[in-house]
């Protein structure tokens, strides 16, 4: 009986240790608090690692890429589920729509869609991201 209990405790400890590397907490804001300063922060934008807009195949200028990534961040961080966050560039425009948040461990995650219009052609990319304790969002790939 003692040997079985030791194995059980060891298994629980190993499982807990393994899961601690899976994510960080969503913090008290729960991933939906808004912060106007955070929206323009390069830290938050760079954490998106190019966002799902980078998978669209659309050539964007630097300013268009910045606007697209800011829209992705705002949709993930503050927009209610289903509410579009639009952006406009020179030749390309788009909108990002995040679904309702869901929990993965201690993290808030959201699926989202980025619809682009490039010279009249519509392109849609989909993805998901999870919120880190520092307020950044990490894409799931």
- Residue 38 domain-assigned? yes
Burial 70-108 (b: 16+ CB within 10 A, else e): bbbbbbbbbbeeeeebebebeebbbbbbbeebeeeeebb
> Cα separation of 51 and 96, whole Å?
11
Q: Give the C-alpha distances (Å, rounded to integers) separating 69 from 7, 10, 87, 130.
A: 48, 44, 10, 15
- Residue 15 domain-assigned? no
At 17 the pLDDT is: 31
- Residue 21 domain-assigned? no
18 confidence band (pLDDT: 50, 70, 90): very low
At 28 the pLDDT is: 34
Can you tell me which residue has the tokens 């669209």? 56
At 41 the pLDDT is: 62
- If one compares 81 and 8, the residue with the highest pLDDT of the two is 81
Q: pLDDT, tens digit, for every residue of 99-135?
A: 999 999 999 999 999 999 998 999 999 999 999 999 9
- Residue 55 domain-assigned? yes
- Residue 125 domain-assigned? yes
Q: Which domain holds residue 54?
A: 33-140
Overall domain count for the chain: 1
Q: pLDDT, tens digit, for every residue of 25-72?
A: 333 334 444 444 444 467 777 777 778 888 888 899 999 999 999 999
| pTM for this predicted structure | 0.68
- Residue 14 domain-assigned? no
- Residue 20 domain-assigned? no
- Residue 79 domain-assigned? yes
Rg of the chain over Cα atoms, rounded to whole angstroms, equals 19
């Amino acid at each position: 009986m003692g040997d079985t209990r030791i194995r059980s405790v060891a298994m629980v400890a190993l499982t807990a240790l393994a899961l601690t590397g899976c994510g960080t907490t969503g913090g008290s804001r729960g991933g939906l608090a808004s912060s106007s300063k955070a929206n323009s922060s390069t830290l938050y934008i760079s954490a998106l690692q190019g966002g799902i807009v980078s998978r669209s195949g659309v050539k964007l200028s630097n300013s268009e890429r910045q606007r697209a990534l800011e829209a992705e961040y705002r949709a993930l961080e503050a927009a209610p589920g289903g509410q579009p966050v639009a952006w406009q560039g020179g030749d390309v425009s788009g909108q990002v729509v995040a679904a309702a948040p869901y929990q993965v461990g201690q993290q808030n995650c959201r699926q989202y869609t980025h619809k682009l219009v490039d010279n009249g052609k519509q392109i849609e990319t989909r993805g998901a991201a999870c919120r880190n304790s520092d307020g950044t969002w990490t894409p799931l790939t």
